[in-house]
Chain A
Amino acid sequence: MTAKKKVSIEWLSGCSGCELGIVDLHEKLLAVLDEVELVRVPILMDTKDYVKADVGIITGSIRTEHDIHAAQAMRKACDAIVAFGTCPVYGGPHSSAYAHTKEELLDGAFRRNPSTKTSEAPQDVPRLLDGNRPLDSEIAVDVYIPGCPPGAAYIFDGLLSLLRGTDPRIGPRNVCFNCDRKMVKSQQPALRRSFDGSFDPEICFLSQGCICLGSVTLDRCLAPCMKAGVPCFACGGPSEAICLEPQKDVRSEVALRMAQLTKIPAEAVVREIEQQAKTHFAYAMASPVFRQKPTFLLKKWTRTAEGGR
């Protein structure tokens, strides 16, 4: 038998949901454990050092000074680095802080928070950086597995391919691929919010006038949300087309599809997504994939939205 590969895990700024995503492998976890030896897992083990490992799995984004040091220490200690989850790949849900300055965040949470007694930001903790950044803004990354958290099937495939040196088969499909709903042409005249009346569980949200981001989101989750009656909110990050083609955009792509399926004009959808940019871009705002798009005017959109409230 060949020696087991050593796997080390470190978390940066995140929610630890990804660690639990690994536990979601259930029995499959045993198959993974046949091939790996876990040498550092803060959520399970007491190892505090950055021990040498073949594979380093990093969850969370670069948000504090600690994250920079931890990422660099992991890069030194591990042969391959996996950016695991939407946070290290695109910045994650706290990407939305992009619409604010660091001082605004500290003010709202500590200095002027009506529900706590503090009046100053905590001292003697790792310094908060100016912005929230994906992992590859700091160190080189070998494998990307986005998802919030990534679905068990994708984790399994991604990890085993890395351990065995084979090509992963995770592919470029969008969330719609694994959604069971049917896209039908409807007479729906206007946009609806997901709490506006009832929705047919067999029919695509877009056909029913509700914005769903499944068609602009890379599938790393097997589309659980629509099965639970919730439209996709793009927690897995942008689709291949959005990443690769500078002129393709979340707004225009969703609008095109909605206009095809309903009587809602494409401009109305574009306008809605801009006005609610904070909601619709929440998970990947920190990513250069959006920032470098000449059409991405997030600061303008969020400011207009807030001014108008």
Chain B
Amino acid sequence: MPAVRIIDRGCRGCELCVDFCPVKVFERTSDERAAVKRQEDCIGCLSCVYLCPSRCIEVEGVPVLRPFHRIEEHAALIERFLQEKSGTSTLTPADWEEARKDLAARLLALSATVVETIGRGSKAMGRRAGALAATHLPEMYEEAGLDRVLASMKHRFRGAFEFDYSLSGERADLHFHPCGLCQVVEEAGEKVGEAVLCQLFHEYWAGLLTAFVGSQYRCEVPVAGRECRMELKPASAS
């Protein structure tokens, strides 16, 4: 059974836990604090733990979700920082494989939907996705030049899309070995490079670079398979 505990001294009385707990474990007390009233109802969602401004709620004895979303360096930092386990280090290769399969199924379903609803416009959508994503990335505002931007993207994409790159003038050559989508596409029985997912990803890169550099880029992939070579060139230099 889960154990939910409020360290009273830290409770500031904001009632976030009272209002947000989906199963109403907490109640307001007469002295304007929160108290645990129905701990047996706790479903272990841990909403309260992070909502609490003081971080004074402890929930124990619940299976914690596997934290695939965490950035490893940060988890490691927190572990050294607080001498507490963050959960990330307990993820096994089998966990990751399960997550990969799950994601692959979603990606394939997504690409099928894109083709179904947008049809031939899907390339333009990939591009638009890249342009949109760029405005949400710090690289967009660093004014660092293509080399620094790509180095930073390489770090951001590590683990999923491992690549090397070389630059000649305005042109960037990316070399994936292999790209994270390769296995997904192969397992679906499609041809690497021609699959919708691949095409979306290529156009996504063209969109990214167009946004980063500020002028139109296009993307060609002359070699696709276990290794892919992606050429990103300014549209003007045809």
Q: Do A and B touch each other in the complex, judged by CB within 8 A?
A: yes
Interface size on B, residues (CB 8 A): 38
Name A159-177 residues within 8 Å CB distance of B: 167-168, 170-174, 176-177
Selected contact of A184 from candidates B13, B16, B156, CB within 8 Å:
B13
Instruction: Kindly state whether residue A66 has any CB partner on chain B within 8 Å.
Output: no
CB-defined interface of A285-300 with B at 8 Å, one 1/0 digit per residue? 0001101101111111
Give the CA-CA distance A171 to B19 in the complex, in Å.
26
A215 to B12 alpha-carbon distance, docked (Å) = 11
Residue B43 interfacial (CB < 8 Å): no
Q: Is A141 an interface residue (CB 8 A)?
A: yes
Tell me the bound Cα distance from A168 to B83 in angstroms: 8
| Contact of B180 with A by CB under 8 A | no
CB contact under 8 A between A182 and B12, given known A144-B81, A173-B56, A243-B81: yes
A173 contacts B75, CB within 8 Å?
Answer: no
Report the minimum CB–CB distance from B217 to chain A (whole Å).
Answer: 21
Q: Which residues of B contact A295 (CB under 8 A)?
A: 136
A261 touches B14 (CB 8 A): yes
Q: Which one, B110-118, B138-146, B186-194, is touching chain A?
A: B138-146
- A99-126 interface bits toward B, Cβ cutoff 8 Å, 1 = contact, 0 = none: 0000000000000000000000000000
Give chain A residues whose Cβ lies under 8 Å from the Cβ of B7: 177
Q: Counting CB contacts under 8 A, is B55 at the interface? A: yes
Mind listing 25 A-B residue pairs with CB under 8 Å? A144-B80, A167-B83, A168-B83, A170-B82, A171-B82, A173-B55, A173-B56, A174-B54, A176-B54, A179-B12, A183-B12, A183-B13, A183-B53, A240-B78, A241-B55, A243-B77, A246-B70, A246-B74, A261-B14, A292-B71, A295-B136, A297-B141, A298-B141, A299-B142, A300-B141
**9 A-B pairs with least C-beta separation:** A215-B53, A299-B141, A177-B10, A183-B14, A177-B54, A183-B12, A300-B141, A176-B54, A176-B53
B residues engaging A (CB < 8 A)? Answer: 7, 9-10, 12-16, 19, 32, 50-51, 53-56, 69-71, 73-75, 77-78, 80-84, 86, 136-138, 140-143, 156
